[in-house]
Amino acid sequence: MINLVVLISGSGSNLQAIMDAIACGHLDARVAAVISNKTSAYGLTRAQSAGIPTAVLQHRDYDSREAFDAQLQQLIDGFSPDCVVLAGFMRILSKGFVAHYQGRLLNIHPSLLPLHKGLDTHARALEAGDRQHGCSVHFVTDELDGGPVIAQGIVDVQPEDTPETLAERVHMAEHRLYPLVLSWLSQNKLCLNQGQIIFQGKALAEPQTLYFST
Ligand code: GRF
């Protein structure tokens, strides 16, 4: 059983998928707390409905990124997490924060990294004419969306796709991928050692891939 603290800024559908995976026994974990930087984040309601403690820390109450992150770190550490799960947390994190959670800070990004770092990934995948698109779960490092990628969920791009239809399919892939990666952590199959992903006892040369056909 691993202890998770989940950080969100919005809808929290990935949080929901993680809570559902725990509830149906696919993931041996406990969500100790959900923390948001936005009071309006619907994920807070999802957590409260499941009886999970929530907290809101608003960045505008802090003078600097470092001051906000220091407070966030203190709040998170009060829940003794084995893993801090970024699930749509729309903040760039300071170096000190990232270093503190090295090897136990995960993020999900809606593209096949290293393609399309940053925002508007679905529109950019369409503009680029990509035949495939998807999502990536990675360890977080100093480089934005640049940490070692553990696993990717791949979907085919259809000729009639819009950014919205593509986003919907990628989201479905996210909801399968994130709980799966967390289950590897909970089963001690996955860790980060000096910047290298170790999966099932061996250095991982390429991300694990899951293909989601339409
Ligand atoms: C997801 O698309 C995730 O890849 C990105 O932010 C979005 C969060 O969605 N990092 P939700 O709040 O989990 O619904």
Question: What integer pLDDT is reported at residue 213 of this predicted model?
Answer: 86
Name the residue of 90, 137, 174, 181 whose CB sits within 8 Å of the most ligand 1 atoms, as the mutation to test its pocket: 174
Given phi > 0 = left and psi -120 to 50 = alpha, else beta, which region is 72? alpha
Q: Is 174 in the pocket of ligand 1 (CB under 6 A)?
A: yes
User: What residues in the chain have per-residue pLDDT under 70?
Assistant: none
Q: How many CB atoms lie within 10 A of CB 6?
A: 28
Q: Is 109 in the pocket of ligand 1 (CB under 6 A)?
A: yes
Read off the pLDDT of residues 4-14 as tens digits, 9 standing for 90 and up. 999 999 999 99
Question: What integer pLDDT is reported at residue 133 of this predicted model?
Answer: 98
| C-alpha to C-alpha distances, 191 to 45, 73, 130, nearest whole angstrom | 31, 21, 31
Integer-rounded Cα radius of gyration of the chain: 17
Q: Is 12 in the pocket of ligand 1 (CB under 6 A)?
A: yes
Q: Is 148 in the pocket of ligand 1 (CB under 6 A)?
A: no
Q: Are strands 54-56 and 83-86 parallel, antiparallel or unpaired?
A: unpaired
Beta bridge partners of 162: none
Could you tell me the pTM of the whole model? 0.98
Output 62-66 pairs: Cβ under 8 A, ≥24 positions apart. Answer: 65/92, 65/94, 66/94, 66/96
**Residue 28 tokens, joined:** 């041996």
Beta bridge partners of 154: 134, 211
Q: With contact defined as beta carbons under 8 Å apart, do 71 and 97 qualify? A: no
Report the atom number in ligand 1 closest to the C-alpha of 135. 4
Active-site positions read 109
Q: Is 121 in the pocket of ligand 1 (CB under 6 A)?
A: no
The CA distance from 64 to 70, in Å, is 10
Name the residue of 6, 8, 14, 45 whose CB sits within 8 Å of the most ligand 1 atoms, as the mutation to test its pocket: 14
**Sign for the pseudo-dihedral over CA of 120, 13, 9, 149:** negative
Question: What integer pLDDT is reported at residue 203 of this predicted model?
Answer: 98
Residue nearest atom 5 of ligand 1, based on CA coordinates: 88
Residue nearest atom 8 of ligand 1, based on CA coordinates: 88
Read off the pLDDT of residues 116-128 as tens digits, 9 standing for 90 and up. 999 999 999 999 9
The percentage of the chain sitting over the pLDDT mark of 70, rounded to a whole number, equals 100
